[in-house]
């Protein structure tokens, strides 16, 4: 049997192998990334170092750079998915280091942003809302401008305007969408936001009495860095949910000056009327006025008009 060294020597010395090697070498040395690397290290690299590093150089050129050969992160062709190769000179030898690519960075940033938002009973499609997906026509421009103005003033978790917005208007005009888009923008600033669909939250609070988690859940919501209460006024309000749940949350946030946002089908005056009457038909003007005082202290009212976009 022919020794392996002799076999390798015969293969390497074969005319067709030499031709293929020369073609591959030419392809490698003509690659813009390789040329840039060799020019940068012209004083440190000679032909011998290049020849010894040819395998690494070929590994470099056959991969994607700046995601130019990858349709998306899942379709990444690189040896390490989500990482791109960079040529380096290490102790007189050519090597490769891998750094996170653009698609991987974007993916990780989005995952981090989504972790900054805690949604309680909000629809998944609403949670994916973006400001670019909101159509600010004439009837919706005031609300859109108010949201953009708030975001312009916010620079991070330690610098947020204290007073939030009370977006009100008819069904399906985009109040929840705009609120969620705002939460996603704040998440990009590392601001933690809790979004709560109020009718479902109030139902759960009644159940929480039985499993002894009421105070824990109220504390979590009331202490959120930014709180967004969606569809306030759509719940069947009782004296207890108005005073002990909603009132407690709003009082704490008013005292601590924590940014709070709300959406409703009701204006301030209409919401006060809703809060005045309990499920049993009792009229409680003073208690409703107390809750509304906190809402007015926490928010600025902005009307959102337009057609019903759910139809």
Of 75, 82, 115, whose CA–CA distance to 100 is shortest? 82
38-59 CB burial, b ≥16 within 10 A, e <16: beeeeeebeeeebeebeebbbe
The pLDDT score that the predictor gives to residue 177 is 93
CA distance 11 to 75: 35
CA distance 174 to 16: 68
18-22, 69-73, 99-103, 110-114: range with lowest mean pLDDT: 110-114
- Predicted confidence band at 112 (pLDDT cuts at 50, 70, 90)? low
* Residue 10 pLDDT exceeds 60: no
* Residue 11 pLDDT exceeds 60: no
Residue 124 DSSP SS3: helix
- Predicted confidence band at 1 (pLDDT cuts at 50, 70, 90)? very low
CB 158 within 8 Å of CB 123:
no
Q: Report pLDDT digits (tens) over 245-271.
A: 999 999 999 999 999 999 999 999 999
The pLDDT score that the predictor gives to residue 14 is 58
Neighbours of 100 (CB within 10 A): 13
Nearest 5°: CA angle at 208, between 207 and 214? 150
Of the chain, the percentage scoring pLDDT greater than 70 comes to 90
Average pLDDT, the chain: 87
Q: Which residues contact 234 (CB under 8 A, 6 or more apart)?
A: 198, 199, 264, 265
* Residue 254: exposure state from Cβ atoms within 10 A (0-12, 13-18, ≥19): middle
The pLDDT score that the predictor gives to residue 152 is 94
Of 48, 21, 41, whose CA–CA distance to 87 is shortest? 41
* Residue 12 pLDDT exceeds 60: no
CB 228 within 8 Å of CB 193:
yes
* Residue 162 pLDDT exceeds 60: yes
How long, in residues, is the chain? Answer: 311
CB 187 within 8 Å of CB 111:
no
* Residue 160 pLDDT exceeds 90: yes
271-301 CB burial, b ≥16 within 10 A, e <16: bbebbbebeeeeebeebbebbbebbebbbeb
The pLDDT score that the predictor gives to residue 111 is 63
* Residue 6 pLDDT exceeds 80: no
Averaged pLDDT for residues 105-125: 69
Q: Report pLDDT digits (tens) over 228-244.
A: 999 999 887 788 999 99
* Residue 102 pLDDT exceeds 50: yes
Averaged pLDDT for residues 72-99: 90
Of 120, 225, 231, 133, whose CA–CA distance to 178 is shortest? 133
Assigned CATH topology for domain 116-303: Rossmann fold (3.40.50)
- Predicted confidence band at 28 (pLDDT cuts at 50, 70, 90)? confident
Domain ranges, ordered by start, for the chain? 4-101, 116-303
- Predicted confidence band at 97 (pLDDT cuts at 50, 70, 90)? very high
The pLDDT score that the predictor gives to residue 4 is 47
Averaged pLDDT for residues 172-182: 92
């Amino acid at each position: 049997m022919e020794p392996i060294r002799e076999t390798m020597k015969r293969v390497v010395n074969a005319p067709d192998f030499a031709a293929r090697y020369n073609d591959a070498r030419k392809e490698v040395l003509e690659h813009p990334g390789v040329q840039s690397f060799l020019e940068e290290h012209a004083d440190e690299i000679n032909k011998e170092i290049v020849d010894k590093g040819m395998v690494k150089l070929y590994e470099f050129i056959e991969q994607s750079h700046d995601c130019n050969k990858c349709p998306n992160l899942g379709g990444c062709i690189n040896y390490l998915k989500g990482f791109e190769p960079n040529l380096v000179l290490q102790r007189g030898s050519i090597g490769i280091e891998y750094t996170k690519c653009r698609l991987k960075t974007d993916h990780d940033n989005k995952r981090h942003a989504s972790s900054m938002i805690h949604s309680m009973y909000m629809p998944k499609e609403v949670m994916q809302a973006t400001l670019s997906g909101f159509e600010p026509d004439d009837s919706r421009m005031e609300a859109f401008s108010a949201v953009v103005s708030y975001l312009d003033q916010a620079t991070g978790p330690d610098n947020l305007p204290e007073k939030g917005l009370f977006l009100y208007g008819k069904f399906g005009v985009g109040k929840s969408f705009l609120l969620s888009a705002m939460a996603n923008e704040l998440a990009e600033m590392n601001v933690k936001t809790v979004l709560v669909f109020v009718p479902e939250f109030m139902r759960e609070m009644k159940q929480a009495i039985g499993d002894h988690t009421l105070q824990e859940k109220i504390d979590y919501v009331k202490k959120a860095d930014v709180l967004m209460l969606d569809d306030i006024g759509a719940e069947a309000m009782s004296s207890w949910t108005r005073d002990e749940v909603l009132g407690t949350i709003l009082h704490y946030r008013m005292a601590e000056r924590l940014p709070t946002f709300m959406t409703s089908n009701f204006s301030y005056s209409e919401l006060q009327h809703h809060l005045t009457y309990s499920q049993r038909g009792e009229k409680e003007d003073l208690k409703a006025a107390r809750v509304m005082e906190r809402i007015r202290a926490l928010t600025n009212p902005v009307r959102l008009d337009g057609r019903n976009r759910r139809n």
